[in-house]
Structure 1
């Protein structure tokens, strides 16, 4: 029977994800492995240590496992995905030939450091918002690293927030450039509905209450109030909800310049979704190291 006490986010991963790991390894060792030649074929045991100076959330286990599986090593975990740990922590033990351990080392550590950093920051932001009484959705953004988006979105989920849309095909989002290019919010929504059909949510970025009115009237599902803050944000959302009550169903999203420092002012329950890139752009990585242990008979 499947466990109900913990989410198994690795089950979300697409069939193609292992090829990404293959490409990481190919990038890191494009020709000869000179260091591997030095250490040879002896079987060794290595300790994965969670270091640094902060309490951290572990995230990225399936990617770490696959890196070492592709170089012929085995991983024994001592923590579960999403567990919080204090440094220095013996997180896992990796076993295999010495040169294979070193083939996977840097690729696996770099991935784990960033994925865990994103999960850690995501949980911090969510917990902070909840401490202010916010009950809505905390989400990341699409401002992710090309070629590494899957890992970064995965880290957000492990950290307990919404990953938001993954790509241009996940949801229809019409921003200022779409609107200016099509002539108006209404025109943009009508054109998008023709091709998106009923199965895709449609979100529109607006800069004012008047633009929000137009987007709601034209049938947008989500209204993104971009860079609107403080009292203006509260007043606009409340007026719009009152005006459209019983006439249209929609959600409000607030985005732009959300940080730890101003989260209290933005975390109001009139807003359904708070989306921020602070959980993944320029986030502090979690420091990990892999230490090969000396044989007992040496």
Structure 2
């Protein structure tokens, strides 16, 4: 399993998010903390539903800020099967009673959410490989405000591509950009002026003719947006054949919209290089966890 925690920056922005989450949960007095006091206790984190464990670096930061020690019994990215009515201890923690309870809800909420995204990402990429798709399954920018770095991270742990991280990561030109500038060609030319050679340009198209215009104008990635499943293979194949001998017209094809675990067998074709879908991270089920102080 790949250790993606090395991706996280040393800057404190994501760590400040953890501080903000804890502050949101305890804006003034911790009345429950007064009740239990500062006696040192041991506690366990239990996994109560099947899935992929994800979010360990973020949970460790919660525990660090709450002065809690943890020993993990399973690794991030590991799939754990939980039978109905059972639970499995995945981590043991030690700290002051009040601190453990201060960390409980923030840590479990993050662990549940991120594990859910990693599990759904893995489910879809696994299904795609089973039906013979060799390309990329990617997420989208439809992430939860404040949680983007964590949700993107969870896509990676699950085996999917994060896609662009933000508006500064890649130039993506959609219908509103095109309508505002008058044409696909105008939009791409304006983007190239500021993006230079180092930033890729992706452009959304609605039909074969728009795709041809985008490729001729120098688009790097052509997004076939909301095409019907029966249209996609035909349009993709035609585009690849049309430009296969033109070395100055190198591009990738992306499909966005409509991909789910239920229709994946009908939707995928290997002439499409990238399938992007928010179904791996938007509205995904959680993985259930609990924290219990040992008696």
1:92 aligns with 2:91: yes
Q: How far 1:261 moved relative to its partner? A: 1.4
Match of 2:292 in 1: 291
Structure 2 gaps of 5+ residues are none
CA contact (8 A) 1:229 1:265 kept: no
Q: How far 1:229 moved relative to its partner? A: 2.5
Q: How far 1:246 moved relative to its partner? A: 2.1
Match of 2:253 in 1: 252
Q: Deviations over 1:30-58 (max 9, x none)?
A: 10000000000111111100013xx2000
Structure 1 gaps of 5+ residues are 1-5
Q: Tell me the TM-score normalised to structure 2 length.
A: 0.96
1:117 aligns with 2:116: yes
Does the residue aligned with 1:130 lie in a helix, a strand or coil? helix
Does the residue aligned with 2:285 lie in a helix, a strand or coil? coil
Q: How far 1:228 moved relative to its partner? A: 0.9
1:80 aligns with 2:75: yes
Q: How far 1:188 moved relative to its partner? A: 0.2
Match of 1:266 in 2: 267
Q: Deviations over 1:78-104 (max 9, x none)?
A: 000100102221110111000000010
Q: Aligned match of 2:61 in 44, 62, 66?
A: 66
Alignment partners' CA distance in 1, 2:79 and 2:262:
23
Which range is displaced more, 86-95 or 137-146?
86-95
Match of 1:39 in 2: 36
How many residues were matched structurally? 287
Q: Deviations over 1:137-165 (max 9, x none)?
A: 01000000000101100100000110101
Q: How far 1:231 moved relative to its partner? A: 2.5
Structural mapping, 1:183-198, within 5 Å = 183-198=182-197
Q: Deviations over 1:138-195 (max 9, x none)?
A: 1000000000101100100000110101100010000000000110000000000000
Alignment partners' CA distance in 2, 1:242 and 1:82:
39
Does the residue aligned with 1:261 lie in a helix, a strand or coil? coil
Q: How far 1:241 moved relative to its partner? A: 1.1
Does the residue aligned with 1:230 lie in a helix, a strand or coil? coil
Q: Deviations over 1:260-283 (max 9, x none)?
A: 111112211111001100011110
Does the residue aligned with 1:170 lie in a helix, a strand or coil? coil
Does the residue aligned with 1:76 lie in a helix, a strand or coil? strand
Which range is displaced more, 17-26 or 131-140?
17-26
Match of 2:159 in 1: 160
